[in-house]
Structure 1
Amino acid sequence: MGAEPTPRREVVTGAPAGRTRAPYPDSSAHDDLAVRKLMRRQVRTGLVACSLLALPLGLFPVVFRLLPDGDTSRGAVWLLLGVAPYPVLLATGAWYVRRAERNEGDVNGR
């Protein structure tokens, strides 16, 4: 029961030289097209979700500038900062998840 030699460590940064990647046996042009279509739809969905979040949250400085100075507006500012973003975040997140699952279901044929 002697000590077994440890295997030589290798750093893998890509495919071995001289080898090409074999295509999957069931891949076809139709599958590639479906994946590209899914990726475009998911990117579009993500951009819409980001814009739905950026627009209302980006308008906060404008709303703060329009509010008059005083003690009553200070409470409104904190209410706006502390409460208003969360329903927007939750609604946008729920919409995004439903839309992303629908996109994947359309590609998978469900």
Structure 2
Amino acid sequence: MSTSQGPGELRPRRVRITSPRTSAARRPTVPTGTREIDEQTRLGEVYMNSLIQSQLRLTLAVIGVTVLVLGSLPLLFWLIPPTRTVAVLGLPLPWVLLGIAIYPVVYVAARIYVRKAERIETEFTEFVGRQ
């Protein structure tokens, strides 16, 4: 590198210029969807209503199927009278079904509900985070 300075001239010293706030914590960028919900704008309200409707649809579906399955048992006993007298392990079939078998059905329904509700919330969070 050639210089046009003479032997007696000194080069100017380099100065590094930095912002006084370089060590300050930076504000995280909040996705627009999250901001819309936090600020309770019309778009945020639409987002929340869609989440609530999805959860309500799931709730009604799980309750409906559970009521249909459990509610059909008394109908079965009424329509087919011999089922009232059948014994399983020394207990009448209606007692076994309504007193014992009902709990696994309710447990499975609850597990399905929780798993799908978590999936809905995860998808909602990912969608809002992308906006």
- In the superposition, the TM-score normalised over structure 1's length comes to 0.66
Deviates most, 67-76 or 96-105: 67-76
Q: Give 1:77 shift.
A: 1.6
Match of residue 28 from structure 1: 41
Q: What does 1:62-81 correspond to in 2, within 5 Å?
A: 62-65=75-78, 66-68=80-82, 70=85, 72=87, 75-81=92-98
Identify if the C-alpha distance between structure 1 residues 29 and 99 changes in structure 2 by more than 3 Å, giving closer, same or farther: same
- How many residue pairs match? The answer is 87
Q: Aligned-pair distance for 1:44?
A: 0.2
Summarize deviations over 1:2-34 as a string: whole Å, max 9, x none: xxxxxxxxxxxxxxxxxxxxxx87333332111
Query: Any stretches of 5+ residues in structure 2 without a counterpart?
Result: 1-36
For 2:113, the equivalent position in structure 1 comes to 96
Summarize the Cα distance change of 1:106–1:78 in structure 2 as closer, same or farther, 3 Å threshold. Answer: same
Per-residue CA distance 1:29-86 (angstroms, 9 max, x = gap): 3321110100110110110011011001111111212141546386212111122211
Root mean square deviation, CA, Å: 2.4
Question: Equivalent pairs: percent with the same residue?
Answer: 29
Structure 1: gaps (5+ residues): 1-23
Separation of aligned partners in 2, 1:87 and 1:55: 15
When the two structures are superposed, what TM-score results if normalisation uses the length of structure 2? 0.57
C-alpha distance in 2, partners of 1:109/1:77? 47
Stretches (4+) displaced over 2 A:
24-30, 69-74
Instruction: Give the counterpart of 1:51 among 55, 60, 64.
Output: 64
- Once the two structures are superposed, residues 65-109 of structure 1 have per-residue CA deviations (whole angstroms, 9 ceiling, x without a partner) of 214154638621211112221121111101111111111112211
